[in-house]
Amino acid sequence: MISKAALQTQNSRNVCLDGLRGIAILMVILFHYFTGFYVFDFGWSGVDLFFILSGYLLSGRIIPFLDDKKIIWKFYLNRILRIIPLYFSFLIVFYLAYYFLASNETQNFSEQLNRPVAFFGFVCNWLFILFFNPSQHQLSHLWSLAVEEQFYLLFPIYVLIIKHQKKLLQCTILAIALIAVSRCLHMMIYSEMNVLKIYWNSFYRMDSFLFGVLIYLLNNIGFFNKFYKSIPYILIITTIAILVGGFYENTFRVNYFFVTIGFTLNAIVYGCMLIFTLNENNNFLKRIMANKLLVFFGKISFGLYIFHWPIYLTMFSATNLFAKKLGFNLSTQHIQLLNIMFSFLSVTIISFLSFKYYESIFLKWKQKPVTKPLLS
């Protein structure tokens, strides 16, 4: 049975998890804003940390409440209220500006941007795979939201089919192994395939979500109480493996190492971080994760993720034009640094205002599950 303590944790907001989410969004922003700086090259994996957290948190919103006949409807409604208002509003504003303000040359630049249905339908990651274009555009970062929404759609069905916690645990472990092996086989067969097509592929990224589910299930049966002392060794060994394999082809970006076993190793590392954060006795890490600044960025992380990249790309040309009008003869590096500062400040303010005065309106309508006898 799931403990009462676990249920209480599910019903209250854990600020430490907001701190983890804050780390994830800062990693992604630093990766995008400081492209080419090796120290931030691993920031792209911040999306894997998001995936882990999603798997863990969503498990706690469904699995204990399967006796509530409306839990699946409530789950989908809550996801809609959290994602759709801001996401759709952003896309509507973007496409209005894109079609009425952008030049014809800009509009013809990307096959992907000219297919808005894929972005509104949360399948843009498959669009990127079909119409592969390595060039970055204002919506290229939305692939991970598409993958998340596809997980949100399928996960309740997965839980309903299996239902029992023991079977869920077994099937989740099997699914993680199957995904990792499938990636390796895929790259062995199609060795010339661009690795980004694996990076964007929903099926090949689901192991990160499932690691979050696995941690939730193992935590409920007290597994980590028995083996907690082994977690630091797993973290150290896995981190070393990532550092060694990550520089395959002299790059720490997505490469053959990551699209075979690297994504799974990422999930293990971030899973260990989550386990440490959940441990009640780990006061040192909890103090870090409960840092007010990290928690703040975690709470507004959805807006930060949506806005940070288009604002950065848009403000780059605006910063350059503004500097020229003021008569400053700045180098490209100085323009970039100014743009990073202006963009980060702007996206933080916009995301905060969005969360407080727009997103919070819809979050108040979210449905709570009925507490009944828990799943055994």
**pLDDT per residue as tens digits for the range 35-77:** 877 778 889 999 999 999 999 999 999 999 988 889 999 999 9
What is d(CA 214, CA 264) in angstroms, rounded to the nearest whole number?
13
Low-confidence ranges of the chain (pLDDT < 50): 1-11, 373-376
Structure tokens given for 279: 């441990």
**Location of structure tokens 């599910």:** 10
* pTM, 2 dp: 0.91
What is d(CA 61, CA 346) in angstroms, rounded to the nearest whole number?
33
**Under 8 Å CB-to-CB from 31, ≥6 apart: which residues?**
40, 41, 42, 43, 44, 46
Do residues 245 and 262 lie in contact, with contact meaning Cβ atoms separated by under 8 Å?
Answer: yes
HEC per residue, 299-355 = HCHHHHHHHHHHHHHHHHHHHHHHHHHCCCCCCHHHHHHHHHHHHHHHHHHHHHHHH
**pLDDT per residue as tens digits for the range 283-326:** 778 888 999 999 999 999 999 999 999 999 888 777 777 776 77
pLDDT on residue 46: 95
C-alpha torsion sign, points 328, 334, 336, 338: negative
Structure tokens given for 107: 């509009």
DSSP 195: T
pLDDT on residue 333: 76
- How many CB atoms are closer than 10 A to CB 215? 25
pLDDT on residue 188: 87
What is d(CA 100, CA 118) in angstroms, rounded to the nearest whole number?
20
DSSP 374: P
User: In 3D, which of 78, 66, 158 has the Cα closest to residue 370?
Assistant: 66
pLDDT on residue 293: 96
Query: In angstroms, what CA-CA distances link 67 with 80, 159, 271?
Result: 22, 12, 28
DSSP 256: T
Domain ranges of the chain: 4-363
User: In 3D, which of 56, 65, 67 has the Cα closest to residue 21?
Assistant: 56
pLDDT on residue 41: 86
Structure tokens given for 74: 């409530």
pLDDT on residue 2: 35
Helices marked H in the chain: 4-11, 15-33, 46-62, 71-101, 104-107, 116-120, 124-130, 143-162, 165-189, 196-199, 202-220, 223-227, 231-246, 263-278, 283-289, 292-299, 301-325, 332-354, 360-363
| Opening angle at CA 247, ends 241 and 252, nearest 5 | 105
